[in-house]
Structure 1
Amino acid sequence: MMGTAVLFGTVAVTFAVGMGASLGEVTKARAHDAADVTVAVPLPEIGPAGPVPEERPAADPAKIAAAIEANSGTGKYYSAGTVRATVSGVTGTTAVNAFTGDAYWGGYTMVSGRWFDQPGEAAVPTGFLAATGIEIGDTVTLNGLGEPVTVRIVGEVLDPRYDGMQVFTDAANLTPTHADLTDISHYRGHVRYGRG
């Protein structure tokens, strides 16, 4: 009886420690908070009849990027914008997160494969792979962006947001389509370091 109690206690402690570590990784993956400074797009003001018309000029992402990069404390920097696209065989739309600069240091945890670093590459969460039936190394075409954009999946990212229905790629892959990126945010870090 004593041996069984010790065995069950050991199993319970092992389970609790493992679950805590796993939940910690999921929380970290949801946060993507490696940046020292984040400049987000301000939300519109909401009045009694809905959004208040913008009275201030729209922010220019290129000017924001230039100001951040010119700051002597900037060691690394990237921006991220979002556009919605459709994927064959998948109901609804998929969030396409397009980055300018190397966002690898931004807190994205890889499950398998690698972060994209070449033109025409992308990384996707596990949910996307399951919903589409594709694997790392396959290509997927993003539609509804003006022109179709085909990217090769090179990595699987731990990111549970949007039920995993996201594509992470370089903004340059969307430039020929003139995709209208929204919610552009800028991320700055103090120390320069490479992938590791």
Structure 2
Amino acid sequence: MADVRVERRPGRPREERFTGAVLSAVLDLVAEQGLAAVTMEAVAARAGVSKPAIYRRWPGKHDLFIAAAETRIGTLSVPDLGDFRAELRAVLDARLRAYQMPGTAQLLAGLISASQEGGEVRVAYQRYTTRIMSETRKILERGIARGDVRAGVDVRAAATLVAAPMIFRLMIEQELPDERFAADLADMLARAVA
């Protein structure tokens, strides 16, 4: 299996503890009680920090949701494995692990709902989506350069095609995607863009 890493931002240890406590509190509340339970008060109480400290770091609730989502469904780094299908499978396996964690479906539902708001909130969610889709676009471009993905493939459309089935399985069909689903999906998608 490929060595896929979720990128973490560097920071001071105390700040990392604060950040970790707050974002863990968000994820725990979502898993236990749903998105409605996530208030700044509830997060502060669960994390053992002050509300003003949270607001200094995350000015709005959407900022907090996006930061929590990035700890669960963040930017990936897939090494060049010399084969598009293998790299695609690495992306799908990493997402599969995230989607199988408690609370991920509720978190995604909240992100999808909030992304429909206008203004700065919508822009923030679009930036998040662009970041998390970047590795899929990168492996598609690498596949085109190697010749195992056809040159005329619309990279953006293909990246969406990679992401959508697992989210649909989890959110709409309300069924956890599994290893078999990821393997079959990798096969189908690799054939589609070959």
TM-score of the alignment, normalized to the shorter chain, above 0.5: no
Using CA pairs below 8 Å that are at least 6 residues apart, which structure has the higher relative contact order? 1
Q: Which has the higher strand share?
A: 1
Q: Which has the higher helix share?
A: 2
TM-score by length of 1: 0.24
Q: Greater Rg, structure 1 or structure 2?
A: 1
